[in-house]
Chains A and B, each alone.
Chain A
């Protein structure tokens, strides 16, 4: 009898083409491993300097993260550029989540398309610090990783080389003990004019005994024209959502390389379940469907890699409950649990002197001083960024916020709506003509904004599961999220607020020109960071973790799970570089397993 679907043999199937999937596929394909990449979303048109994506952005009403990519993404949070009713905002067109205050909502999102969220990421590449890996031992909170910083260090080096990272190697060496065995491949992206003013203003300043140091932000954007055949950054200031010139690193580049090395890519192919042998737990088949057809197709391989991000990975494991009722690789019961983000505290002010914002990358300097310390036994660490784009991040300056399209959660009162924007100057204050022009010149050139990304502790009650009743447009059950920031993070957010105030006063801001709090919850979450961590936790013991130290599922020995879902702790570092390092390291383990 002829089979309705085609099953082929591959060495490795990689599900997802973002930060982890692209690197593991490239790394394996380069060594002649036969790789099949399955991507739920479509490929965006890249021709002629990404012209059609730029055009779509220019036309876009919201100018939000997803704006250039409408039509290319698979079902995901905030998939639309059109106004959404309140109950479909903040990702709830896809996440199933109760209405709640901002601090009880998961406010991070992603793109399901070839190249993933790495199209719209900001490009900050920070290493974790040694104590991030041993929070339990050192501070008595959280969990320990089964690996140490020193285990990952060589892979950080390789990841920085593969992505192309520009940074100040001297400044970045030994940040809280994170030693560097190699320099960055490229010199740092220059600090902005505003950064330099901050640096001068905060020289010799401390907060609670910790000296504040403003340092150049290591970022995956070319400071050297020609690195990996791509141009140097020319400051289009649109990294989020799109770099028109490819100066910013994207996973797409490693997908392209993987394809050149012989990997196969099937886009618009949504994996709907993994089938396993119920006894051994081995993954036997990956079942998927295409956008255009509801027919099931499938593929098999010796090893399967889940790299679809910290929401989609556990969702798929839980959906795959046909042979094992708790889902695949879930004997621990921990799949989907320990969901963490980096809640942001955002503050802004008018500096005394103009800083001339809206020029250059969104952030070129930050403060690493509070990323570790004895205080972590009681409160979250944090990393502070200085922004170069005025108050844009908070309220859509200079135009004023479009409150209706994706990402807004309005259950907390927003303070200072549209402050310092054209909407306020014209509509509220009635400025026109020369007066208006002068006000724009005077006020907007002084707009400064900082935010701090704060560490959360892993909490098993923060979790993603599956809602079998609420389906996405392809008939697939949507992820259900239960989330809330904890007291540990709130205490970190409170300290961040103190730092923000100190920074603004040092820049000569008048108290009446400082807005420390964006909402009526001063120690709450203002925004998410786009960092989705914890949901397929790494550990030594199969009973209390999902993957082992090599990212191999404990209970499915031919399944590797990558991405920030494996992080036992969130740290205060942006996760992408750690995702990349772990992916390259896992590729090594996969290769060894294939040849044994």
Chain B
């Protein structure tokens, strides 16, 4: 396509987009943030997935998985929603919770989780994501350009309102980048 045809085509696509976009339409190739286009969330999760799962059970399992006893219930509800509406993980959550119900009365729950959930090729998948959600407020999902390669993935922030509250930052006694760190010069001393 020569230069002139390309410009004409770009102009046509601008004018046809104009009517449907709130923002100024741009030629092809100028992208808005399209991380959200890879978000496989359904607008409404299947009601049965979330309704059957008790939030307090989910929080309890999360406590064992993260090693953190103080977990916020509202955040937990948001994270449960994220998982239940994600096509990669939604179907696995009920299975994970069923298994957890079986082992939660055992003497050493963390050991049982390791041997019966983390060692299980299927159940470890959602369990791992629960850890990432609490620690980082993100899921680690397959790279749409290379979905079968487990060495590459992308981080997905489906509950970005919790980005600053990732556990990793409080465990490190630091703060999420882009959030307030402390008064001027706080970095010159170790954290209290």
Chain A interface SS verdict (over half): loop
> Within 8 Å CB of A209, what residues of B?
none
Q: Mark B120-154, 1 if CB is under 8 A from A, else 0.
A: 00000001100110011010100111100001111
Closest-by-CB residue of A relative to B144 is A83
Write the nearest CB–CB distance from B183 to chain A, whole angstroms.
6
A432 to B64, Cβ gap below 8 A?
yes
Asked whether any CB of chain A lies closer than 8 Å to the CB of B105, the reply is no
**Chain B residues within 8 Å of A2, by CB:** none
Asked if A358 and B132 make an inter-chain contact with CB atoms under 8 angstroms apart, the answer reads no
Q: Does B19 contact A (CB under 8 A)?
A: no
Confirm or deny: B106 has a beta carbon within 8 angstroms of a beta carbon on chain A.
no
Which chain A residue lies CB-closest to B156?
A61
Report the separation of the CA atoms of residues A81 and B134 in the bound assembly, to the nearest whole angstrom: 23
Q: Which of B46-54, B76-84, B90-98, B163-171 contacts A (4 or more CB under 8 A)?
A: B163-171
- Across the interface, which residues of A come within 8 angstroms of B190, CB to CB? 193, 354, 356
Number of A-B contacts (CB under 8 A): 235
Residue of B nearest to A353 (CB): B190
Whole-angstrom CA separation of A536 from B186 in the bound complex = 43
Q: Are B174 and A357 in contact (CB under 8 A)?
A: yes
B188 touching A192 by the CB < 8 A rule?
yes
Q: Which residues of B contact A81 (CB under 8 A)?
A: 31, 33-35
Q: Quick check: A432 and B171 within 8 Å, CB to CB?
A: no
The smallest C-beta distance from A201 to any residue of chain B, in angstroms, reads 16
Is there contact, CB below 8 Å, between B66 and A436? yes
Q: How far is the CB of B141 from chain A (nearest CB, A)?
A: 9
In the complex the two chains form, is B189's CB within 8 Å of A193's CB? Answer: yes
Chain B residues positioned under 8 Å from A471 (CB to CB): 3, 6
**A422 adjacent to B35 (CB under 8 Å):** no
Interface residue count on the B side (C-beta < 8 Å): 77
Interface residue A488 (Cβ < 8 Å from any Cβ of B): no
Residues of A within 8 A of B34 (CB): 70, 80-82
A71-B184 contact in complex given A82-B37, A292-B14, C-beta closer than 8 Å: no
Residues on B with C-beta less than 8 A from A357 are 172, 174
Interface window among A156-164, A177-185, A227-235, A491-499: A227-235
Closest to B140 in A: A423
Q: From the candidates B3, B110, B132, B181, name the one contacting A434 in the complex (CB within 8 A).
A: B110
- Chain A: minimal CB distance from B40 (Å): 13
- Contact (Cβ within 8 A) B187 A54: no
Q: Is the CB of B174 within 8 A of A58?
A: no
Contact A236-B181, Cβ < 8 Å, known A399-B155, A422-B132, A440-B168: yes
Question: Contact string, A459-496, partner B, CB cutoff 8 A, digits 1/0?
Answer: 00000000000011111000000000000000000000
> Is A388's CB within 8 Å of the partner chain B?
yes
Question: Cβ of A232 and Cβ of B172 under 8 Å apart?
Answer: no
Known: A190-B185, A357-B174. A71 touches B32 (CB 8 A): yes
CB-CB under 8 A from B14, the residues of chain A are: 292
- B187 & A436 in contact (Cβ 8 Å cutoff): no
Contact A427 B128 (CB under 8 A): yes
Min C-beta distance of B128 to chain A, whole Å? 6
Interface residue? A137 (CB, 8 A): no
Instruction: Give every chain A residue within 8 A of B33 (Cβ-Cβ).
Output: 56, 59-60, 67, 70-71, 81
A451 to B184 CA separation, bound complex (whole angstroms): 25
A58 and B26 contacting across the interface, CB-CB below 8 Å: no
- Residue on B with the closest CB to A193? B190
Whether a CB of chain A sits under 8 angstroms from the CB of B20 is no
In the complex, chain A residues 536-575 whose Cβ is within 8 Å of any chain B Cβ: none
Does B22 belong to the interface (CB within 8 Å)?
no
Q: Which residue of A lies closest to B179 (CB)?
A: A236
Query: When each residue 407-443 of chain A gets 1 if its CB lies under 8 Å from chain B and 0 otherwise, what string results?
Result: 0000000000100001100110010111111101100
Closest to B127 in A: A432
Q: Does B113 contact A (CB under 8 A)?
A: yes
Is the Cβ of B154 less than 8 Å from the Cβ of A61? yes
**Given known contacts A70-B31, A234-B183, A402-B155, is B68 in contact with A437 (CB within 8 Å)?**
yes
- Tell me whether B110 and A75 are in contact (CB under 8 A): no
Q: Which residue of B lies closest to A388 (CB)?
A: B187
* Distance between A73 CB and nearest chain B CB, rounded to angstroms: 8
Q: Which residue in A79, A360, A398 is a CB contact (below 8 Å) of B181?
A: A360
| Chain B residues near A445 (CB-CB < 8 A) | 172-173
A294 lies within 8 A of chain B by Cβ: yes
A339 adjacent to chain B (CB < 8 Å): no
Q: Are A61 and B151 within 8 A (Cβ)?
A: no
Question: Does A48 belong to the interface (CB within 8 Å)?
Answer: no
Residues of B within 8 A of A438 (CB): 67
Contact B24 A291 (CB under 8 A): yes
Q: Given the complex, which residues of B lie within 8 Å of A437, measured CB to CB? A: 66-68, 171
Q: A402-B155, A430-B118, A437-B68 are in contact. Are A235 and B187 (CB under 8 A)?
A: yes
Residue of A nearest to B65 (CB): A432
Are A474 and B10 within 8 A (Cβ)?
Answer: yes
Q: For residue B37, which residues in chain A have a CB less than 8 angstroms away from its CB?
A: 82
Return chain B residues, CB-CB under 8 Å to A70.
31-34
- Residues of chain A lying within 8 A (CB to CB) of residue B173: 356, 445
CA distance A461 to B168 in the complex (A): 47
Q: Give the residue name and chain of the A residue nearest to B4 (CB).
A: A475
9 residue pairs from A and B, CB less than 8 Å apart: A59-B35, A61-B154, A62-B155, A71-B30, A71-B32, A83-B144, A294-B11, A358-B175, A427-B140
Q: A193-B189, A359-B187, A400-B140 are in contact. List 20 more A-B contacts (CB 8 A).
A: A59-B160, A60-B33, A62-B154, A74-B30, A75-B30, A79-B31, A81-B31, A83-B38, A83-B154, A233-B184, A238-B177, A291-B27, A291-B30, A358-B177, A360-B188, A399-B138, A403-B152, A432-B64, A432-B131, A474-B10
